[in-house]
A and B are shown apart, each in its own frame.
Chain A
Amino acid sequence: MTKKKLVVIGNGMAPGRALEKLLDTAPDAYEVTIFNAEPRVNYDRIMLSPLLSGEKTFDQIVIHGDGWYVKHGVTLHKGATVTAIDREARTVTTARGITQPYDKLIIATGSLPIIIPVPGHKLAGVLSYRDLDDVEAMLLAAKSRGHAVVIGGGLLGLEAAAGLKEQGMDVTVIHLAPTLLERQLDTTAGHLLQRAVEDRGIRVITKANTKAILGEKKVEAVLLEDGTRLPADLVVMAVGIKPNAQVAKDAGLEVNRGIVVDAGMRTSDQDIYAIGECAEVAGQVFGLVAPLYEMAGVLAARLAGDTVAAFKPSAVATKLKVTGINLFSAGDFAESPDRQEIVLRDASRGIYKRLVLKDDAIIGAVLYGDTSDSAWFFDLLKKRSDISPMRETLIFGPSFAGGSPLDPTAAVAALPDEAEICGCNGVCKGKITGAIASMGLKSLDDVRARTKASASCGSCTGLVEQLLKTALGDAYNPAAVQPMCACTHLGHDDVRRLIVAKQLKSIPALMQALEWNTSCGCAKCRPALNYYLLSTWPGEYVDDSQSRFINERVHANIQRDGTYSVVPRMWGGMTSAKELRAIADVVEKFKIPSVKCTGGQRIDMLGVRKEDLPAVWADLNAAGMISGAAYAKGLRTVKTCVGTDWCRFGTQDSTGLGIKLEKYLWGSWTPAKLKLAVSGCPRNCAEATCKDIGVICVDSGYDIHFAGAAGLDIKGTEVLGHVETEAEAIEVIAALTQLYREQGRYLERIYKWAKRVGLDTIRQQIMNDVERRRSLHERFAYSQKFSQIDPWAERAAGKDRHEFAPMADFTRKEAAE
């Protein structure tokens, strides 16, 4: 049997799902060819927001990698826009002139973002928010850390604003209506949301009408109707979408708002189907994946020969995907005389719940602040259940309606099996609990892998976790507290808290008191515990060298062949003839094979034999050099530039400040490595804006930056604040380091810690609360008393001698025999 030719226009989420199902049920029925205008594989468009905010990478949001197409024999033309459908000849043709015949054709061209045609809307720097190219352009623009204006305060606009803010831009959202999300929220709730958005440092202007976008070559400002001029390096228009039906229209297919299809997804042409956002069923178009995936299921069934599968649009729910803001809305909110509302407000806890009722059934629901009952309400809504018997208590959720108010899992436990948990993938409760029981699933990842629940936008993660908890009882630890390792159920923060609360001062005491389930931990928890104890009890806790990774135990970096590298400190990157001579001598004396300048402005000697280490150190110490701690979860380098000493642009003594900082901070242990840099002017030759802590000298003093990264992740720093004197700069930096020492989880770099606890809370504690800064600084200074001991001097003098000599040597004896 020759396979029929199935051609797909568009490679978005809807056809992706349809093909998955089709290849599952009828793998050999069609020879599939896809044309995609975007030059890439199928990815999860919903996750563009986490991509923009930096919580995900593109690889993590790919749905079908290149391998998938190869495996299923599907031909994908990337970057190929179909410009014409010839229904007579039954072919499609692309802009580049490829013509491809079809037996069956699927149109899945999605939507186009609406662009308001104000003057200037075509300037460079005006973007929509629809695909990866938009996100990449935004990320690029964000590098300037300039001003962004987002036009449109709907779900997409707010997600874009939060992401751009996260990327360091100064963001303003302008919104036409008097309150945000006016279709879903009433005025009060709209204000609650506005406050939450403003708390993240995003400016919100409502009742704002855009008059023009200004700029010469690229956008420079947005002009509002009332004359306000907002500076802008980037403008994102997120004002809505319209079905992308042009190719269909040109081919003479019936098009209304979208491409008109019947319940079997068939267009006015027998052999042509349409699904996704471009399709219109019974006068309705859709903009969320849940119904699109249902369309995909129907289409796959039809193409596999089913003649009755039919699409029934059901209510859809949305969540705002901005970390830290909980907002759920579903159904219909329009006001009308035959509808009633139940509203619950708890201003002090920032909670707002609104149910819209009609004929004793819920037809709309909005939950703000606390969305834990969303699945229950949504289920009642979808089923149009009669709520009159529980009307009085309805708004308080299932736990009230069914007793047992305090158990957080009660809400999910009360759900019927067919209640939908994962909207994106259409997975109901019964399917998840069934899979947990029959396949013995134990973790969120297991559930994601086996059922797809929580695998797309992730907003149902909490519910899935509660199902795991209900099914597995205490055997399940929700990911909210990731245990440190398999030796304990406690998370890092719990352990740190308990160390203080229970006055735990040694690893064995801690493991006893906190009921570790292994005899002496593992290579993950022991180094972490050693650090926590050391930083909590300076001067009291005795370091446990056997709980340190080898590099920190012998104060050199192990290499792939078992030899070591040695990096002496060069304060602020400065060196001298004496130091260089000593290094040269050591290299020759111990026949060290490689000498290299590091990326940290100092010199690395690589390939030192372990037994030579103490003698190498003795020689370097003799020339006044100490360990550079290139191995430490502690202070590494302070890079500097030449500053006022030499540079014609230098505004302050950057080299001097760098050296002072390095001399003050060296020896301190931190959760992960700590790298600093000081640049003498904003030209920033010391690359201070990608360091854990950076200083940019300016005429008026010192701009202190933090939370940058340039390793596995690349991230520019955030500004901590400005100070006028060197002394203040040093105090601020020491206080920041101490705060990080006290709150950071082991192996968590500053930028990750800052992201977790919030930049503003850190700024508040260090820059605004002078008392707090001072006490942090004092604690830092105190702990430094016990840590500024050069490990090399100790070892050259004989400490840990056992480390560096074999216990017994039979190679020589053997030779003598």
Chain B
Amino acid sequence: MSTHEQRWIDIGCIEDIPVRGARVVRTPAGCIAVFRTAEDEAFAIDDACPHKAGPLSQGIVHGKSVTCPLHNWVISLENGDAQGADEGSVASYPLKIEGGRLLLDLRRAQDRSAA
């Protein structure tokens, strides 16, 4: 499998996600949460909190972070790392915006499901 070339998949347009909100993309390896910040950036990370797998897509989005709805861990949208005193990380996925469309690179998720 080629590892260097990106494989972008169109998942919808940025307007489909509410500002400071998230939507879910279902994949065979589990759900991915796609976030839109107040500054109209978009990020994709696994929809499972490193703490107890809480659905991060349901959390409150602030700055470039989300607060998990179950026990309030704060997770960085940029790299999936837990902030502050909590330790843990979730996978993040390459995502880019082109002409308002959201393009997601899912290979990491597929690698994981194949493994």
> Interface on A for B, CB 8 Å cutoff?
518-523, 526-527, 545-550, 558, 560, 562, 802, 806-811, 814
Contact = CB atoms under 8 A, between A and B. Distances in A.
B100 to A, nearest CB: 14
A458 B72 CA distance: 31
A809 B12 CA distance: 11
Nearest to B26: A809
Given A520-B62, A523-B60, A810 B19 contact: no
Closest 3 CB pairs of A and B: A523-B67, A807-B23, A523-B60
A706 B57 CA distance: 38
Q: Max chain B CB contacts within 10 Å: which of A518, A546, A811?
A: A546
A12 B111 CA distance: 64
B60 A547 contact: yes
A526 B26 contact: no
A523 B28 contact: no
A802 B23 contact: yes
Contact of A521 (B12, B19, B23, B62): B62
Given A522-B62, A811-B28, A546 B19 contact: yes
A522 B59 CA distance: 11
B7 to A, nearest CB: 12
A526 B53 CA distance: 24
B12 to A, nearest CB: 5
Given A523-B72, A546-B60, A549-B60, A806 B18 contact: no
Nearest to A809: B26
B89 interface: no
30 contacts: A518-B62, A523-B59, A523-B72, A526-B62, A527-B60, A546-B18, A546-B20, A546-B21, A546-B61, A547-B20, A547-B60, A549-B60, A550-B58, A558-B69, A562-B55, A562-B58, A802-B16, A802-B18, A802-B23, A807-B12, A807-B16, A807-B17, A807-B25, A807-B34, A808-B12, A808-B25, A808-B26, A810-B9, A810-B25, A810-B27
A803 B112 CA distance: 27
Nearest to A548: B60
B28 A810 contact: yes
Contacts of B19: 546
B24 A520 contact: no
A806 B26 CA distance: 7
Contacts of B11: 807-808
Contacts of A548: 60
A520 B25 contact: no
Nearest to A810: B27
A519 B60 contact: no
B77 to A, nearest CB: 13
The size bracket of the interface on B is 35 or more
B4 interface: no
A815 to B, nearest CB: 8
B72 A810 contact: no
A811 B16 contact: no
Contacts of B72: 523
Contacts of A562: 53-55, 58
A807 B74 CA distance: 23
Most chain B CB within a 10 A radius of its CB, from A527, A558, A562, A802 = A562
Contacts of A549: 60, 69
A190 to B, nearest CB: 51
A560 B70 contact: yes
Interface centre among A519, A523, A807 (most CB of B within 10 A): A807
A802 B60 contact: no
Contacts of A811: 26-28
Contacts of B31: 806
Contacts of A547: 20, 60
B75 to A, nearest CB: 11
B58 A558 contact: yes
B89 to A, nearest CB: 19
B20 A520 contact: yes
Given A802-B17, A806-B23, 6 more contacts: A519-B38, A548-B60, A550-B60, A807-B12, A810-B25, A810-B28
B98 interface: no
Nearest to B24: A806
B106 interface: yes
B63 interface: yes
Interface string B45-57: 0000000111100
A810 B106 CA distance: 10
Given A562-B54, A807-B17, A807-B23, A520 B67 contact: no
B5 interface: no
Contacts of A809: 25-26
A549 B63 CA distance: 16
A811 B109 CA distance: 12
Contacts of B61: 546
A809 B9 CA distance: 12
Contacts of B74: 522-523
A560 B58 CA distance: 12
B10 to A, nearest CB: 8
Contacts of A802: 16-18, 23
A526 B60 contact: yes
Contacts of A520: 20, 37-38, 62-63
